[in-house]
């Protein structure tokens, strides 16, 4: 396994009356990096899906996608459709979606070499929580070495990902990820350091909506501590050479982060090109230590590795 270093002019964006150039320099593992060709043409990397979904016949207006050839792993032939579309079913990026729909996963739990999956199918909480166990096989999964506290929340309904404007709100996946981090795992993730990440189409591995659960790296914890809680302000933050746009969203109810609002819509509204940018931006969310609200952070090509999944203790699903 080797690392590659990419530095390229990514895109030009208009903020107010100013034009900014984003230079993003980052090191990533070769098997999860954005293609150099993707970086060279990022400004033209999203396209609009048909207003009527050709597979389902449902309205799919304002759904933008990243062409398959620009994505590192998620290269299913039909980017506008879910893994249920015949053209996508056999692609490796529909592997988890296919597993979750098998007979062996119709019960309360199932598993494969990548981990254990527990299922929650009641109204409003239709998801699967995975404890990623690839760290137990570092020879086969070298990137997962030491990641014993990595959990992933998966949508059980057919939803593509962050850019699926007409599917991502079937359930409040962010609220469910938070509840999972506090009530479904042992030990619970500490408030103030728990972090949640959803990757963009450019960097994700699977064509099914999923949210990574881990803790903030120290550099992120330090940076977040400097942020304002002014709710009308879109802030700029640079961490690990990612340029983040940040918004603080106060809790609508005491100690109830993510409840009563749509994280995806808020994120889209703070991006330069709104929904058109969603296929190429990833989101990180973390809860303020006093539990008064959530910091939503969006960055171009955000990778799940920006969270920490290694702890000096053992993590497990709560029995």
> Is residue 31 over pLDDT 60?
no
8 Å CB contact between 212 and 129: no
Q: What pLDDT does residue 3 have?
A: 31
HSE-up of 76 (CA within 13 Å, CB side)?
Answer: 29
> Is residue 26 over pLDDT 50?
no
Distance CA 197, CA 199 (A): 6
End-to-end CA distance of the chain: 36
> Residue 132 to residues 34, 290, 316: CA-CA distances in angstroms?
23, 29, 10
Structure token pair of residue 188: 């619970």
Distance CA 284, CA 193 (A): 12
> Is residue 43 over pLDDT 80?
no
Distance CA 70, CA 175 (A): 31
* CA-wise closest residue to 154 among 242, 240, 95, 225: 95
Distance CA 267, CA 252 (A): 17
The pLDDT of 236-263, averaged and rounded, is: 96
The pLDDT of 257-278, averaged and rounded, is: 97
Burial of 215 by CB count in 10 Å (0-12 exposed, 13-18 middle, 19+ buried)?
Answer: buried
pLDDT band at 205 (very low <50, low <70, confident <90, very high): very high
CATH of domain 3-317: 3.30.428.30
Distance CA 190, CA 307 (A): 14
């Amino acid at each position: 396994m080797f690392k590659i270093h990419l530095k390229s002019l990514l895109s030009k964006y208009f903020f107010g009356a100013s034009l900014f150039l984003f230079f993003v320099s980052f090191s990533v593992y070769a098997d999860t990096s954005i293609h150099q060709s993707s970086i060279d043409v990022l400004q033209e990397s999203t396209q609009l899906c048909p207003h009527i979904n050709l597979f389902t016949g449902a309205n799919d207006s304002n759904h933008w996608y990243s062409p398959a050839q620009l994505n590192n792993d998620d290269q299913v032939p039909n980017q506008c459709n879910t893994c249920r579309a015949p053209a996508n079913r056999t692609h490796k990026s529909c592997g988890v979606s296919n597993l979750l729909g098998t007979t062996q996963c119709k019960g309360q739990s199932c598993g494969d070499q990548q981990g254990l999956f527990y299922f929650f199918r009641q109204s409003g909480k239709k998801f699967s929580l995975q404890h990623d166990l690839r760290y137990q096989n570092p020879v086969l999964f070298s990137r997962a070495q030491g990641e014993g506290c990595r959990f992933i929340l998966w949508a059980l309904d057919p939803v593509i990902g962050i850019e699926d404007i007409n599917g991502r709100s079937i359930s409040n996946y962010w609220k469910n990820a938070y509840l999972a981090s506090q009530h479904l795992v042992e030990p619970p993730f500490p408030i103030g350091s728990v972090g949640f990440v959803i990757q963009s189409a450019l960097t994700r591995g699977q064509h099914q909506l999923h949210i990574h659960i881990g803790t903030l790296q120290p550099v992120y914890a330090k940076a977040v501590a400097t942020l304002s809680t002014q709710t009308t302000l879109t802030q700029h933050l640079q961490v690990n050479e990612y340029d983040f746009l940040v918004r603080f969203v106060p809790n609508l109810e005491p100690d109830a982060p993510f409840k009563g609002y749509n994280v995806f819509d808020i994120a889209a509204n703070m991006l330069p090109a709104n929904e058109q940018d969603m296929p190429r931006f990833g989101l990180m969310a973390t809860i303020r230590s006093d539990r008064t609200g959530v910091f939503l952070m969006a960055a171009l090509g955000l990778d799940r590795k920006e969270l920490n999944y290694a702890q000096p203790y053992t993590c497990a699903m709560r029995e």
